[in-house]
Each structure stands twice: as structure tokens, then as C-alpha cells.
């Protein structure tokens, strides 16, 4: 393939005219939140979009770097902030970089041995997700949380592994404060 360039809108935190956009709505998030009843209410009230992943894809083969723009909307399910499903990589020994362009949030991570880590995401913060760690972003702010992500193109996504065990930590708003709880 030939070299190419795409133009990101760094102010808005968007990738205009993506070739592919994956959209996850509330109904795609069943099993993710602590308050399943609150999620069902949200689905019944219009099933809002939780996040979009925009890509101009490259071949999913060794040597290439896949990249995307992750756009996670603000909101809460009960007291729990909107978040992504989270995943390990199908090829587990592959890292990922998230560069936050807009908004405020957290990157929640979990190692295969069950160790947790959490990093703050604000404009300009780069979070390095090491190989083998599951990762989920969480929007604790009032505007979209937008990040540029890059990872080995053959990494793949394994959602089932973390869905079965959970991350072990959740981020809530309690009394107007961002609170991380073990549960």
C-alpha cells in the first residue's frame, strides 16, 4: 500500500469522514454497569449512544499500526459514569497508546493477575496500556471524552474475557465527587 495522511480535528477531537464508524448504544452495554435496572430505563428512554469508534482502517496484519478516534459521550447509568465495554487484545501481548484530545475521564486497566491501575485522561495526557492489560475508558466529565488510539493492527479485541471477570473497580459520582470503588 502507499503512504497516506488523514486530517484530525484536534480542537473538536474528531476524525472527520471516517471510512468506518462503530457505534455502541446503551443496549450494547448490558452486563457492564452495576445498576442493570438503571441501564434498562435508559434503553427504554431512547437508548442513547455511549461511544463511537471512528477509523480509517489499515490491513489487520503484522507490522501495521491500527489507529482510531474514540468518542465517549458524557452521562451516567445510575451513579456510574458512561464507559466503554473494555477489552483484552485477542493477541494479548500487544500494547496500546491513548492520547486524550478532549474531555475528562479515567483509563481503568487490569492485568491478567488481577492487578488494577487507573490513569487520569485530560487533553494532552497519553496513557500507555502495556501488553496483556485489559483497558476501559470512563467519561467523568460533562463533554465528550475523545482520544486518539494506536495499537498493532493484528491485536484484535477480546471482550468476553473481561466481561466474565469484570475489572474489579468502578467509577461513580457520589455526593458530587468522582469516586473509585472496588466492586
Site for Fe ion, rule CB under 5 A:
96
CA dist., res. 145 & res. 12, Å (int): 10
Which of 52, 96 has the CB closer to Fe ion? 96
Question: Shortest distance, CB of residue 154 to Fe ion, whole angstroms?
Answer: 12
Question: Shortest distance, CB of residue 87 to Fe ion, whole angstroms?
Answer: 6
Q: Which residue is closest to Fe ion by CB?
A: 96
Is the distance from CB of 101 to CB of 146 less than 8 angstroms? yes
Question: Shortest distance, CB of residue 15 to Fe ion, whole angstroms?
Answer: 17
Long-range contacts of residues 115-123, Cβ cutoff 8 Å, at least 24 apart: 116/167, 116/168, 116/169, 118/169, 118/180, 121/145, 121/147
Which of 56, 95 has the CB closer to Fe ion? 95
Question: Shortest distance, CB of residue 34 to Fe ion, whole angstroms?
Answer: 23
Which of 55, 96 has the CB closer to Fe ion? 96
CA dist., res. 43 & res. 25, Å (int): 8
Which of 78, 161 has the CB closer to Fe ion? 161
Amino acid at each position: 500500500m502507499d503512504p497516506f495522511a488523514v486530517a484530525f480535528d484536534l480542537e473538536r477531537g474528531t476524525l472527520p469522514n471516517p471510512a468506518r464508524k462503530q457505534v455502541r448504544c446503551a443496549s450494547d452495554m448490558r452486563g457492564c454497569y452495576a445498576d442493570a435496572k438503571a441501564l434498562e430505563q435508559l434503553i427504554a428512554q431512547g437508548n442513547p449512544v455511549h461511544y463511537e469508534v471512528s477509523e480509517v482502517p489499515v490491513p489487520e496484519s503484522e507490522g501495521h499500526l491500527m489507529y482510531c478516534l474514540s468518542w465517549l459521550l458524557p452521562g451516567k447509568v445510575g451513579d456510574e459514569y458512561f464507559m466503554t465495554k473494555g477489552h483484552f487484545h485477542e493477541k494479548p501481548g500487544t500494547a496500546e497508546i491513548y492520547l486524550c484530545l478532549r474531555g475528562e475521564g479515567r483509563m481503568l486497566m487490569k492485568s491478567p493477575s488481577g492487578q488494577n491501575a487507573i490513569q487520569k485522561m485530560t487533553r494532552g495526557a497519553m496513557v500507555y496500556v502495556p501488553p496483556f492489560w485489559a483497558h476501559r475508558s470512563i467519561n467523568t466529565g460533562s463533554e465528550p471524552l475523545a482520544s486518539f488510539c494506536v495499537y498493532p493492527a493484528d491485536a484484535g479485541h477480546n471482550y468476553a474475557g473481561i466481561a466474565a471477570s469484570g475489572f474489579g473497580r468502578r467509577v461513580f459520582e457520589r455526593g458530587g465527587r468522582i469516586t473509585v470503588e472496588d466492586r
